[in-house]
Amino acid sequence: MSLVDKLNWRYATKKFDSSKKIAADKLQNLLDAVQLAPSSIGLQHYRVLVVEDAAVREKLKAVGYGQSQITDASQVIVFAAETNIDEAFGRKYIDNVAATRGVPRETLAGFESMVLNTINARTPAELLVWAQKQAYIALGVLVTAAAEQDIDVCPMEGFDPAGFDEVLGLKEKGLTATVIATIGYRAQDDKMSNAAKVRRPAEELFIHI
């Protein structure tokens, strides 16, 4: 199947088969894809939590409006935006660039200046929105990578971020829950699995200039 076929196959799964778990190698492939997601300047201004613990997921369900996907899916993926994006965060990124590419750090002085200026030009509120936008890009990569492996996903904004932050101890980590996704395999009796996919017609969605 082509990627377009896979994306036609996928849908926001409402009911998961709780008896089916994602194999470790397939889960790792998903996480590898998420790690490769693009982000502004390459900063990856977020962390990704893979939640499997049943007791924790019950608590998350309570602050996730009781949605069964949170406890029935194989895993819950939480994309949490960084809340402390500062010069130290930027410099650590430059350290990683230098180490990964095997180049002297001083050769990155111009790039480092641009990164730090970009950070310093934004207010804390603007930095948070910036980070949250990058988390959504990573979510898109997760959804696509999952479809490619015939893994079901339900991207979810319907949860209490403050509640998730409390259950997962995110505030202490300098993070805040931004968007989540439950991953696993659809239940056979999920009525939405055979529903026609509804999208805006191409002639309305695309503008060719």
CATH topology of domain 3-89+123-205: NADH Oxidase (3.40.109)
Vertex 52: Cα angle to 130 and 144 (nearest 5): 50
Predicted confidence (pLDDT) per residue in 95-104, tens digit? 999 999 999 9
pTM exceeding the 0.85 threshold for the entire prediction: yes
How many angstroms separate the CA atoms of 25 and 23, rounded? 6
| 8 A C-beta contact, residue 186 and residue 17 | yes
Listed by start position, the domains of the chain span: 3-89+123-205
Q: Which helix (H) or strand (E) holds 115?
A: helix 109-120
Per-residue pLDDT for 193 more than 90?
A: yes
pLDDT tens per residue, range 153-178: 999 999 999 999 999 999 999 999 99
